[in-house]
Chains A and B, each alone.
Chain A
Amino acid sequence: MSVLGSLSQLLEIVVALLLAPLLVGWVNQWRAWLQNKSAPGVLQPYRVLHKLFNKESVLAQHASPLFRSAPYIVFSCMLLASAIIPTLSTDLPLAPAADAIALVGLFALARVFISLAAMDVGTAFGTMGARREMLIGFLAEPALLMVLFSASLIPKSTSLATIVETLAHRELAIYPSLAFAGVAFTMISLAENARVPVDNPATHLELTMIHEALILEYSGRHLALLEWAASLKLFAYSCLGLALFLPWGVAEAHAPLELVLALPVLILKLALAGLLLAEKETANAKMRIFRVPEFLGTAFLLAVIGVLVHILLGA
């Protein structure tokens, strides 16, 4: 556990906390511009968080301690996830504690807690949101696991640091299995982060809500933590995708100069990813809820085919 390692770990956590709302703001900005509307500014999510933290938290009369602690638990899960994904560097002291499978487990933990919290208040919205969230989760989680599998078959390791290092070091190599995995990963990210075409993050119509239905009862600092956690989740997924499919630019151990360079490279890659996400959200319409299992089933099967293609072609 070197000094450089601890420094890069701390830097990653701070960068994740600070940049995640900026990423959401960037995506919203572009979405508005692409739809010919004027946007509130890239820093709007920060203002929203500040406003929410200052507000009083209103809880339902019979909400249990589970309801009150769930936002903190979800926030901690997302923070830990951002800490173990190699965004800036692969020399992370926390990374050996959780490999790719544990990362999927971490997302599942957050999902279970938010669904339980939504069921806690006992209204129709909360339970409907919980049911839909678990439905998406039960299809997206194995698909994500298979995507990570196909990525881990190449370096024969599930440790994210090893995967990124191996993929970054091969000479410009094109892996067909990763092509399948990439398409599947994009579909899964859209579903898990509650983006169009699976869920509209700006909707407040009960029949179309999934993520919004889960956090409907929260207000004040709890809502602020959940919104921050959602932006951390988007940040984590984007960084995971960049780490698996565009791993160049990530610093490695014993290379302090690369760490300095890694930050601008990351910001550039995230800006591009955000732009692509905004374009995808604008160009597609939201799917009907019962088409979502088909969408995710397709992602799952594409990921499985990716693994099969790897076994066939050896690449």
Chain B
Amino acid sequence: MAGLLDPTHWLALDVALTVVVAWLSVAVLGLFALRRLGWVAKVLFPAGGAIALLLFAVALVALFSAPQTAVLPLGLPGLPFHLRLDPLAAFFLMVIGAASAGVSAFAAGYFRKGEGTPPGLLCLEYHLFIASMTMVVLADDAYTFMVMWETMALSSFFLVIANHRIAEIRQAGYLYLLVAHVGAIGILLCFGVLQANTGDYTFANMRAQRLTPFWGSVAFLLALFGFGAKAGILPLHVWLPEAHPAAPSPVSALMSGVMLKTAIYGLLRVGFDLLHVQLWWWGVLLLALGLASAVFGVVFAAVQVDMKRLLAYSSIENIGLVFAGIGLAVLFSAYGMKPMSALALTAALYHVAGHAFFKSLLFVGTGSVLHATGQRSLGKLGGLIRYMPWVAWLTLLGTLTSAGLPPLAGFVSEWLLLQSFLFTPGLPSSFLNMLIPVVAALIALVAALSGYTMVKFFGVIFLGQPREENLVHSHPAGTWERVGMAWLAAGCVALGLLPVQFIQAIDPVTRQLVAAGLGSTVAASGWLLVPVDIERASYGPVVFLLGLAASFALAFALVRRLYHGRLRRASPWDCGYPWQTARMQDTAEGFGQPIRQIFEPFFRMQRELPSPFDREPRYRVVVGDHFWDWLYRPVADLVERMSRWIGQLQQGRIAVYLLYSFLTLVGVLIVVKR
């Protein structure tokens, strides 16, 4: 920290800290302009976005330099903040910076009128949220980490209940806070195990410890529990589909796109950096949990009728895929197959970056739709491509990326992940060798089903005919909203077309974690992505896109030249039934019906079927989650029973309370006597 006032000697870590301070000042400024929407929306949020871009740039620089540490004398006396900026942290800072830049730009145009919380307060909470996420990633000791983790949880809680006048939103916020704290206990206990009785909670000390396999497994399982609760892995996922839709759209975008990634960061930090030896069954456990979450998430997403809930379940699916990739990396690392581990880890990290961009893009797109139409339910939307063209076309890019289609970002991570599965027949255990193709098949199934879900999402909202009359009055998005969405869409496209460059950026991270990386192999082939050997596998997204574009242009030009381009407009084919209405298109339930039928055991469905004798027949189906009945209600009942049993201590009579004090005193005297 020496030479702080001399800019030429600033390290990347100093710049990152400046970014945090800048965000905090923006937050405080928001507090002073509590109800002045214009000032908050047009000045403060764009400023926050520009600061995020600075973070992105400095993290990119830090990725290729040596780790830097700092000790800040904040916090309690004797417990200063230790901070560290190494490649792993730098990668996640890049993700945070880039995604928040786009979301902040969008938020500048989004917060139009007061929605229960004054805009200045929203600005405070928002910037506190992203500043605390940055500090979580920079933290180098358990104390800093937990303080910043709590700040992150609290600020996001207040953001989730921004519309606190609605009871459902308050309940969603409560559930979110509850699960976040249950997870935090797990993380705290994990740090307790990692410091191995030395009393020194810095990560540097934890790195120096050599835990026995038993205690290492305990630490890993606790970390999995704690970070898994934050990431939304089965079975601790129930808060995600409630909290993400309840929050305002920019906040949902940040939570899904960025906050879930801090949980991944935590798992990587504990699993690979602080724990030196990985065991094979950790990898299998991660793989199993990740796959279960992925399948569960996508199956539920396919049957949702609320657009934000659909995206929330889709986030569960994507995080599940990331966990599966990390599990595979742990498995390979446990058997000493470092290059394969690097491949799987690269796939997981690529998906982390891609998901941050496309999920944020999709959420802010729904934000624009919500603002323009006031509807969240898919059954009341439709045909918006005509009234909101910018939002529609940019959301189309996000949809295609989410479906994992070439040449965009989602395909690259899926390609890398499937490539890492192909190399697995080299594992020593034959049982694992046989499970791996089944796992690869499940991942392919998840990818195909996410395509189904995304077609439903885009088609029901933007295509077709409007299902309600007032939709024709929807206004298109404003400039700031377009800027934010365009930035995020550009990220999706860039990640899809330039995989070689991005893998070279991920290379320092995998080198730090598993001591191997794809950077050198990949750099040798220029525009073509060749992870191992050009004979084995290769993928060239730019050539791919150029090929498609060239045939498109050629077909268009030739048809126009040789034939003609005459066009006539008429009404659509009605098969002789002229009274077609917009209600006769597929609804969201209808589109999800095949999935409901095929995957019936997954759901707890409540159906209300009409009978021929009803005056006003009604059909209603509510698709619920079994986990409430299997896990949460029994646990809640148990907690309630235990607390009632302990509550018997509260007798209400003073004599009894005095008796308690007397017994405690006698007990202490007996113990002291020994």
Contact = CB atoms under 8 A, between A and B. Distances in A.
B536 interface: yes
A74 B582 CA distance: 27
B575 A311 contact: no
Interface string A200-218: 0000001000000000110
The 5 closest A-B pairs by CB, nearest first: A122-B464, A127-B586, A122-B465, A142-B444, A97-B540
Contact of B572 (A83, A98, A121, A221): A121
Given A61-B571, A75-B551, A300 B538 contact: no
A75 B558 CA distance: 13
Looking at B386, B414, B569, B585, the one whose CB has the most chain A CB atoms below 10 A away is B585
A308 to B, nearest CB: 6
25 contacts: A57-B566, A59-B570, A60-B572, A80-B551, A97-B540, A98-B539, A101-B537, A105-B404, A105-B411, A105-B415, A112-B400, A116-B455, A119-B464, A120-B459, A127-B586, A131-B586, A149-B437, A152-B422, A158-B422, A206-B575, A217-B572, A308-B437, A308-B438, A311-B430, A312-B434
Interface string A36-75: 0000000000000000011011111110101000001101
B667 interface: no
Interface in B290-337: none
A216 B591 CA distance: 19
Interface string B362-398: 0000000000000000000011011000000000100
B464 A142 contact: no
B382 A122 contact: yes
Interface stretch (A27-35, A132-140, A235-243, A271-279): A132-140
Interface of B: 382-383, 385-386, 396, 400, 403-406, 411, 414-415, 418-419, 422, 425, 430, 433-434, 437-438, 440-441, 444-445, 447-449, 451-452, 454-456, 458-460, 463-465, 528, 534-541, 543-544, 547-549, 551-552, 555-556, 559, 562-563, 565-575, 580, 582, 584-586, 590-591, 593-594, 597-598
A193 interface: no
B537 A99 contact: yes
Interface string A12-33: 0000000000000000000000
Nearest to A144: B444
B551 A76 contact: yes
A125 interface: yes
A156 interface: yes
A290 B425 CA distance: 36
Interface in A109-158: 109, 111-112, 115-116, 119-128, 130-131, 134-135, 137-139, 141-142, 145-146, 149, 152-153, 156-158
Contacts of A134: 451-452, 455-456
Contact of A122 (B383, B425, B458): B383
Given A60-B571, A115-B455, A131-B591, A97 B437 contact: no
Contacts of B567: 56-59
A137 B595 CA distance: 13
For the residues of A in contact with B, the DSSP-based class is: helix
B91 to A, nearest CB: 25
Contacts of A94: 543, 547
A198 interface: no
Nearest to B400: A112
A290 B580 CA distance: 27
A169 to B, nearest CB: 14
Given A115-B455, A122-B585, A127-B586, A138 B449 contact: yes
Given A120-B464, A134-B452, A311-B434, A102 B544 contact: yes
A88 interface: no
B555 A135 contact: no
Interface residues of A, number: 78
A157 B536 contact: yes
A142 B406 CA distance: 16
Interface of A: 53-54, 56-62, 64, 66, 72-73, 75-77, 79-80, 83, 94, 96-99, 101-102, 105-106, 108-109, 111-112, 115-116, 119-128, 130-131, 134-135, 137-139, 141-142, 145-146, 149, 152-153, 156-159, 162, 206, 216-217, 220-221, 225, 290, 293, 300, 303-304, 307-308, 311-312
Contact of A124 (B383, B449, B458, B585): B585
B193 to A, nearest CB: 38
A122 B582 contact: yes
B463 A66 contact: yes
Nearest to B423: A156
A159 B536 CA distance: 6
Given A56-B568, A76-B547, 11 more contacts: A56-B566, A64-B463, A76-B548, A96-B534, A101-B419, A102-B411, A108-B451, A134-B451, A137-B448, A221-B559, A308-B434
A206 B580 CA distance: 15
B405 A105 contact: yes
B415 A101 contact: yes
B434 A53 contact: no
Contacts of A96: 528, 534, 538, 540
Nearest to B382: A122
Nearest to A117: B463
A145 B444 contact: yes
Contacts of A59: 567-570
A123 B547 contact: no
Contact of B383 (A62, A99, A149): A62
A126 B556 CA distance: 24
Looking at A105, A106, A135, A162, the one whose CB has the most chain B CB atoms below 10 A away is A105
A61 B563 contact: no
Contacts of B454: 112
Nearest to B584: A124
B560 to A, nearest CB: 9
Contacts of B580: 123-124
Contacts of A53: 559, 562-563
A123 B586 CA distance: 8
Contacts of A156: 422, 536
Contacts of B541: 97
Looking at A123, A216, A290, the one whose CB has the most chain B CB atoms below 10 A away is A123
